[in-house]
Structure 1
Amino acid sequence: MRMEAVAEPQLSSQDPEEEKMSSRNHSKLQSRLAFLLLLAYQKQYDVFTELDLEFASGKTRPDLCIFPKRTSDWLTDEIVVQDVPLTTLEILSPEQSMNSLLERIYKKHFPAGVKTVWLIVPALQIVSIFLPNRKQINFTEGTITDPETGIQLQLAEIFEG
């Protein structure tokens, strides 16, 4: 029996978000944030990781996004979601530039109607919440409070161990 080599799938170079690299710290923070958010807010919000979103302002795949809670339809699924989340969370990866992340926030997320964007900078242990009016709230300790959703998390819990 002869086996033929199968070509590896090629990633499209058209969408840099599809090729972004993660890291151990990035993955740990993404998992921890999803856990903490679901633990505290699962009755009020749906929390998704790496969900492909398509807005009039462009395609994007935030690390996490938060929607108002709704009943899941397990028979019908969406590959690309066009609903606009209340909040998106972006974790700065070692391979990303701050400028590219801020550009995505202001050119894709806010024009679509996202209310707040959390930007997590692991190396500095900072969480910044951005608002569409270019206001920015920085948290380096204590309780992170989202002014639009009322979501609160302890910074120390996010960066624990």
Structure 2
Amino acid sequence: MPLSSRFTIHQQLSLNLNGWQTIPDICLYPKGVLKVDWDSDEDEVDIPPLLVIEILSPKQNLQPLVDKIREYLRQAVKSCWLVEPATEVVTIFNAAGKRAHTSGVMRDEAVGVEISLPELFA
């Protein structure tokens, strides 16, 4: 089942979570949870996404992204993925801790999502 059948997927959505303003690379909400009026001047969302995905670019330092992910979790985001394209690693962060994935099918039990890493990095 494609992710888009269960989730709304947003890129660069402005979030304001308890006064913490941030813009994740990608975020997912369960279908029907987030109603965004794109014609409105209100461009910030105050509902935490279910999943945030941050992608490490070649010129970014890793630690600031890890710190950002920790803050997402403090703000009630269930799971965060840190994608490192250069090394083809995806690390899942959630309440249970963190786990790096380098091959095969990655399963994120916290949000009920699985994805093939070879397809992701193809």
- TM-score of the pair, normalised by structure 2: 0.89
Write out the 4+ residue segments of structure 1 that deviate beyond 3 Å after TM superposition: 71-78
Counting matched residue pairs gives: 120
Please give the per-residue CA displacement for 1:62-114, whole angstroms capped at 9, x wherever unaligned.
1100101018565754411111100100000122111100111112x011100
Please give the per-residue CA displacement for 1:13-42, whole angstroms capped at 9, x wherever unaligned.
xxxxxxxxxxxxxxxxxxxxxxxxxx7122
Q: Is the 1:106–1:132 Cα contact (8 Å) retained in structure 2?
A: no
Distance 1:101 1:75 in 2: 28
Structure 2 equivalent of residue 47 of structure 1: 9
Map of 1:7-156 to 2, 5 A cutoff? Answer: 40-56=2-18, 58-70=20-32, 77=40, 78-107=42-71, 109-133=72-96, 135-156=97-118
- TM-score of the pair, normalised by structure 1: 0.68
Unaligned ranges ≥5, structure 1: 1-38
Query: Whose Rg is larger?
Result: 1
RMSD: 1.9
- Please give the secondary structure, in 2, of the residue aligned with 1:94: coil
Unaligned ranges ≥5, structure 2: none
Higher helix share: 1
- Please give the secondary structure, in 2, of the residue aligned with 1:118: strand
Higher strand share: 2
Query: CA 1:122–1:80 in structure 2 vs 1: closer, same or farther (change >3 Å)?
Result: same
Query: CA 1:99–1:73 in structure 2 vs 1: closer, same or farther (change >3 Å)?
Result: closer
Structure 2 equivalent of residue 3 of structure 1: none
